[in-house]
Amino acid sequence: MKNAVPQVASLLLEKLLLLVHVRALPAGTEGGESPPAASGYYDTSCFRRGDLLEVPRTLFVHFGIYLGENRVAHLMPDILPAFTDDHRQIQRVVTNKRLILGVITKTASIRVDTVEDFAYGGSILVNHMDRLFKDQVLGSEEAACRAEMLVGATAYSLLWNNCEHFVTYCRYGAPVSFQTDKFCETVKMIIRDQRSVLASVLVGLASIICLGLAPSTALPTIFITFVLWMAG
């Protein structure tokens, strides 16, 4: 339990920036990031239409549905579809700015990219989640058709409508996110631990000492402490 608070802080930061979830920066744009793997880097001969592809990152996994011919449908936060219907602009590589603005405004697109652009140099697992949905796996063609029908702009939510919800709906018929479930369970553990109440009081007192006693410092301290106390 003592590592729960740092874990949640890391989860929030990673999920917000999406820098380990999906790397979509063009080479040389920011931070000297490596470019996506060159075409042909992945052996797509072992992929079948309708397969669920997973790309593990540091704390999260990115998901997509293989459509055949080196194409993957996947959900990504993206602000651009809210402003234009120009497919050529939307299909360009998604920058971090577009990603973050998409997360903030809760807009996204289900897009089709090459396997190389989808995986961005990461290792790929194929149908790894099937073991969790033994009797719910839909036909491969049905899964691919579902993904193709959903391509386009869509709403986005970090917890309730992300790339994992998209692929589990397509392949298993129900939108589920085990990453979200794990995150929520961790948050519950923190709320139930009464030490979080003490932590909120100490943070509140520190803000009052540093910023002075005012409604903007006192009210959040009282409210957050009360909520944590009642929920614990």
Please confirm, yes or no, whether 170 is among the known catalytic residues.
no
Which of the residues 46, 145, 163, 184 is marked catalytic? 163
CA angle 171, 175, 178 (to 5 degrees): 100
* Closest to 166 measured CA to CA, from 18, 61, 70: 61
* Closest to 156 measured CA to CA, from 186, 177, 185: 177
Q: Sort 193 into a burial class: Cβ within 10 Å, 0-12 / 13-18 / 19+.
A: middle
Q: Across-strand partners of 53? A: 64, 126
Catalytic residues: 163
